[in-house]
Amino acid sequence: MECREQSIFVLDVAGRPTFAFKAENLAQAEELIQASWFARALSEFYANKRQGWDNNIPVRTRFAIEAEVSIYRDFADEFADLSDRFFIAHLSDLTNA
């Protein structure tokens, strides 16, 4: 069985690196963020932080830089038992330091 290496992408929200996730390529990453389940996940995340998710906030998808890849992999390693699921790492709190 062929195993494709996936790249790590970052979703910049209002100009700040906010979420990291895996996708096969930039086109697939952009497709994922347009999916209704992805928008619901972001809405739920922001609801839990007592902030609203505004669909009019500017977002941009891009390849992750090395520091963001490292953060994503650290989180992914911590939750390795959930590797059969789509994993999104929240970056904002960690990249502000």
- Rounded to two decimals, the pTM is 0.75
Instruction: Name the residue range of residue 72's domain.
Output: 7-95
1 lies in a domain? no
Per-residue pLDDT of the chain in tens (97 residues, 90 and over written 9): 445 678 999 999 888 898 899 999 999 999 998 898 888 888 787 776 655 556 667 889 999 999 999 988 888 887 766 556 677 788 865 544 4
Query: Is 17 domain-assigned?
Result: yes
**Count of domains observed in the chain:** 1
- Both tokens of 19, joined, read 């979420």
How far apart are the C-alpha atoms of 94 and 68, rounded to whole Å? 9
Contacts of 19 (CB under 8 A, 6+ apart): 10, 11, 13, 42, 88, 89, 90, 91
